[in-house]
């Protein structure tokens, strides 16, 4: 089995540049924000740039890569015009990703604020139903959340509820973030198999498409969402080892979102490959 690991990269130098950077640190997947998360002008990549990235992905047998929607969007927000804007941005992101060799589009299901979980779930599903019209091969991933504030998607049951209301289920999947599920109360560091069994029971493992691999600054069930470097947090190196050597997880694209610059990511990638290969 090929172990596919990578990290979050900056999109600012273009698409081909991300492919080259990934190669330089031994990654065979990576993640990037489709737009600058702090707003500002957005430069749409040229077809030539996307084609150059596709050649790199193809030639080096990359696993699917993950495009992350801007986290400032709220797919279940109360304001209808803001939700329309969110749908517009996400739809155009998906049109762009349809040109990428093998891409997942990961997003945060959003915060219901004071609308209640049920309304949040319904509005997020509505947003997916709108944007999935443009998805032919791009898989839309709902990210598991830590349950900070009024975030929805903090339990497998809530994610299952969202998926149940999606019309085009074949293009909808889940990205499991290890920091988020730990903060949400699932003890993935102690017993990944138990958490995956629960995931399978509630959602179905066929929906699990990608992993965000992060340690957490906070204890189990903290509902905080503060990522830590691999081995320096509450999951610990033993917990991380148990997670990445689980056969279900090891078969998926794994992306680091730890607080690192590129050199730190490179070190974590080689450490994790070493751990995986020694088991």
Q: Is 55:92 a contact under the CB 8 Å cutoff? A: no
Q: By CB under 5 A, how many residues form the interface with Zn ion? A: 1
Say whether residue 215 binds Fe ion (CB under 5 A).
Answer: no
In angstroms, how far is the first alpha carbon of the chain from the final one?
A: 13
Q: Is 11:43 a contact under the CB 8 Å cutoff? A: no
Nearest-angstrom CA–CA distance, 11 and 32: 6
Closest to 144 measured CA to CA, from 154, 134, 135: 154
Nearest-angstrom CA–CA distance, 237 and 261: 20
Q: How far is the CB of 98 from Zn ion (least distance, A)?
A: 27
Stretch that binds Zn ion, among 16-24, 34-42, 217-225, 240-248 (CB under 5 A): 217-225
Q: Cβ closer to Zn ion: 57 or 210? A: 210
Stretch that binds Fe ion, among 83-91, 172-180, 246-254, 263-271 (CB under 5 A): 172-180
- Sort residue 110 into left (φ over 0), alpha (ψ -120 to 50) or beta: left
Q: By CB under 5 A, how many residues form the interface with Fe ion? A: 3
- 224-243 residues near Zn ion, rule: CB under 5 A: 225
Say whether residue 268 binds Zn ion (CB under 5 A).
Answer: no
Say whether residue 154 binds Fe ion (CB under 5 A).
Answer: no
- 231: which strand partners? none
Q: Cβ closer to Zn ion: 77 or 147? A: 147
Stretch that binds Fe ion, among 127-135, 160-168, 205-213, 230-238 (CB under 5 A): 205-213
Stretch that binds Fe ion, among 1-9, 151-159, 204-212, 229-237 (CB under 5 A): 204-212
Q: Which residue is nearest to Zn ion (CB)?
A: 225
Q: Other CB atoms closer than 10 Å to residue 48's CB: what's the count? A: 10
Q: Is 172:142 a contact under the CB 8 Å cutoff? A: yes
Q: Cβ closer to Zn ion: 151 or 225? A: 225
User: Which residues contribute to the site for Fe ion (CB under 5 A)?
Assistant: 143, 177, 212
User: Which residues contribute to the site for Zn ion (CB under 5 A)?
Assistant: 225
């Amino acid at each position: 089995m090929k172990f596919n690991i990578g990290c979050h990269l900056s999109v600012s130098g273009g698409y081909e540049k991300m492919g080259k950077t990934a190669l330089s640190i031994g990654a065979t997947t990576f993640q990037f924000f489709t737009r600058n998360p702090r707003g500002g002008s957005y430069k749409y990549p040229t077809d030539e740039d996307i084609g150059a990235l596709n050649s790199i992905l193809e030639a080096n047998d990359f696993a699917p890569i993950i495009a992350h929607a801007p986290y400032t969007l709220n797919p279940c927000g109360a304001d209808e015009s803001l939700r329309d804007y969110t749908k517009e941005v996400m739809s155009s992101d998906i049109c762009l990703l349809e040109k990428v060799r093998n891409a997942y589009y990961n997003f945060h299901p959003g915060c219901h604020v004071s609308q209640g979980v049920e309304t949040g779930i319904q509005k997020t599903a509505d947003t997916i139903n709108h944007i999935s019209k443009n998805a032919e091969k791009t898989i839309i991933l709902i990210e598991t959340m830590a349950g900070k504030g009024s975030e929805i998607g903090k339990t497998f049951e809530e994610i299952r509820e969202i998926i149940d209301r999606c019309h085009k289920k074949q293009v909808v999947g889940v990205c499991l973030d290890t920091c988020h599920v730990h903060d949400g109360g699932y003890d993935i560091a102690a017993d990944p198999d138990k958490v995956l069994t629960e995931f399978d029971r509630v959602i179905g493992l066929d929906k699990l498409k990608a992993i965000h691999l992060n340690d957490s600054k906070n204890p189990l069930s903290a509902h905080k969402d503060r990522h830590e470097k691999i081995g320096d947090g509450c999951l610990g190196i033993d917990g991380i080892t148990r997670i990445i050597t689980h056969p279900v997880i090891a078969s998926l694209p794994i992306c680091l979102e730890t607080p690192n610059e590129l050199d730190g990511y490179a070190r974590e990638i080689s450490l994790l490959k070493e751990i995986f290969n020694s088991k």
